[in-house]
């Protein structure tokens, strides 16, 4: 079944707003275009840095710019969307054209961009929220207010995985006819996961209780996995279980998280939650935490319930 057919039939039957279907359809169109660009990036000279820094002081890659433009141009044409926030934009993009209510979309156009030059997996992440009047304020709603969330993963195949609060579904892009085809419906995270996913290079800068909890999980028979692209690490965790951790890392006198609330944490927490897993910011349910500002970064942990519970015992209960 194609994505368009699914959106028209299944989601309509479950009272999902027609506007949301159109937004997901537009995001899937952007995903097709980005997939095409990613596949040809080496040939088109799109590898490497664009020569500037983004709002997070990270080097912008040429494909970051290109994919940001694709997302902006397709989504700003959608008559139901009134505001956009991108990891690559300093400020929100107001596309309200006089409308005061509608939908707002936060996105990371190309997550894991350090993987571009080595033909590794990368992805686009999105989060859709309702907005009533003040776009800037409405972006700061907690994860549980999201109406739709998901990602497109560009890898050995291109898949779109999303939730509109009625389960998590995966559609795979058929390169022959350019259609996304349903490949997995109602995905549930298996609770038999043994994969522990984190950047070991940062371990010396984690809090002691954090590093010790991770060591205990490994001692329990964990197996290490880390691609360096959040979307790819998320997708593996969704399908195979286990735990992903990007804890706060020592910086100056304090500890800071790296992953972005709006563009990474909120949407992926929503998908994980819908698939029966858990996502945490510190020791709180990530769906309940509201960002304080647009580009806020936080520590992030997610995975299947069994292993995340064990992590919480090791990390927080036995201090």
Q: Which of 48, 175, 178, 228 binds ligand FDP (CB under 6 A)?
A: 228
In the window 241-260, what residues touch ligand FDP (CB under 6 A)? 258-259
Minimum distance of ligand FDP from residue 134's CB (angstroms): 27
* Cβ proximity to ligand FDP, 8 vs 50, nearer residue: 50
- Least CB distance to ligand FDP at residue 9 (A): 34
Query: For residues 53-82, which are near ligand FDP according to CB under 6 A?
Result: none
> Among residues 234 and 314, whose Cβ is nearest to ligand FDP?
234
Nearer to ligand FDP, 16 or 281 (CB): 281
Nearer to ligand FDP, 182 or 218 (CB): 218
Nearer to ligand FDP, 94 or 200 (CB): 200
Minimum CB distance to ligand FDP smaller for 23 or for 289: 289
Tally of CA atoms within 13 A in the half-sphere of 313 that contains its CB: 8
Q: Which is nearer to ligand FDP, 80 or 235 (CB)?
A: 235
| Binders in 147-206 for ligand FDP, by CB under 6 A | 199
Choosing from 95, 229, 265, 298, the residue that interacts with ligand FDP (CB under 6 A) is: 229
Minimum distance of ligand FDP from residue 188's CB (angstroms): 23
The CA-based angle 158-159-162, given to 5 degrees, is 150
Q: CB of 169 within 8 A of CB of 149?
A: no
Tell me how far, at minimum, the Cβ of 110 lies from ligand FDP, in Å.
8
CB neighbourhood size of 215 (10 A): 14
Q: 262 to 291, contacts with ligand FDP by CB under 6 A?
A: 264
Range 106-125, binding ligand FDP (CB under 6 A): 111-114
User: Least distance in Å: CB of 230 to ligand FDP?
Assistant: 3
Rule CB under 6 A: choose which of 152, 168, 214, 230 binds ligand FDP.
230
Q: How far is the CB of 44 from ligand FDP (least distance, A)?
A: 20
Would you say 91 and 135 are in contact if contact means Cβ atoms under 8 Å apart? Answer: no
The secondary structure element, H or E, covering residue 153 is strand 148-154
Query: What does the longest C-alpha to C-alpha distance in the chain come to?
Result: 58
CB-based contact 298:281 (threshold 8 Å) = yes
For ligand FDP, the closer CB: 66 or 258: 258
- Least gap, CB of 258 to ligand FDP (angstroms): 6
Q: Supply φ then ψ for residue 318, to 5 degrees.
A: -105, 35
Rg (alpha carbons) of the chain, rounded to whole number: 19
| Binding residue count for ligand FDP, defined by CB under 6 A | 11
Tell me if 283 sits within 8 A of 316, measured CB to CB: yes
Cα(207)–Cα(195) distance, integer angstroms = 21
Do the Cβ atoms of 261 and 297 come closer than 8 Å? yes
Asked whether the beta carbons of 80 and 103 are under 8 A apart, the reply is: yes
Shortest CB 281 distance to ligand FDP, Å: 15
Q: Which is nearer to ligand FDP, 147 or 261 (CB)?
A: 261
Give the separation between CA 192 and CA 277, rounded to whole angstroms: 12
Burial of 239 (0-12, 13-18, 19+ CB in 10 A): middle
Contact 140, 295 (CB under 8 A): no
62: helix, coil or strand? helix
Footprint on this chain of ligand FDP (rule: CB under 6 A): 111-114, 199, 228-230, 258-259, 264
């Amino acid at each position: 079944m194609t994505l368009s057919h699914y959106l028209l039939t299944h989601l309509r039957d479950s009272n999902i707003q027609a506007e949301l279907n159109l937004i997901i359809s537009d995001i899937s169109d952007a995903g097709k275009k980005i997939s095409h660009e990613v596949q040809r990036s080496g040939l088109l000279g799109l590898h490497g840095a664009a020569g500037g820094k983004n709002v997070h002081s990270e080097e912008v890659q040429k494909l970051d710019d290109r994919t940001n433009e694709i997302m902006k141009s397709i989504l700003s044409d959608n008559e139901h969307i009134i505001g956009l926030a991108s990891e690559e934009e300093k400020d929100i993009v107001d596309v309200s054209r006089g409308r005061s209510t509608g939908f707002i979309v936060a996105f990371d156009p190309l997550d894991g961009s350090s993987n571009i030059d080595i033909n590794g997996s990368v992805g686009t992440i999105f989060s859709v929220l309702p907005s009533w009047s003040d776009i800037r304020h409405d972006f700061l709603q907690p994860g549980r207010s999201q109406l739709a969330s998901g990602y497109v993963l560009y890898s050995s195949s291109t898949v779109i995985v999303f939730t509109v609060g009625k389960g998590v579904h995966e559609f795979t892009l058929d390169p022959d006819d350019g259609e996304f085809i349903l490949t997995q419906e109602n995905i549930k995270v298996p609770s038999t996961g043994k994969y522990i996913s984190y950047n070991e290079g940062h371990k010396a800068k984690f809090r002691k209780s954090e590093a010790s909890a991770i060591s205990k999980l490994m001692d329990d028979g964990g197996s290490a996995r880390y691609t360096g692209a959040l979307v790819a690490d998320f997708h593996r965790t969704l399908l195979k279980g286990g735990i992903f951790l990007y804890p706060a890392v020592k910086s100056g006198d304090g500890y800071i998280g790296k992953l972005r609330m709006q563009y990474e944490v909120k949407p992926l927490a929503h998908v994980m939650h819908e698939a029966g897993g858990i996502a945490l910011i510190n020791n709180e349910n990530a769906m309940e935490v509201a960002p304080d500002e647009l580009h806020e970064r936080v520590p992030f942990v997610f995975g299947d319930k069994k292993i995340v519970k064990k992590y919480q015992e090791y990390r927080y209960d036995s201090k």
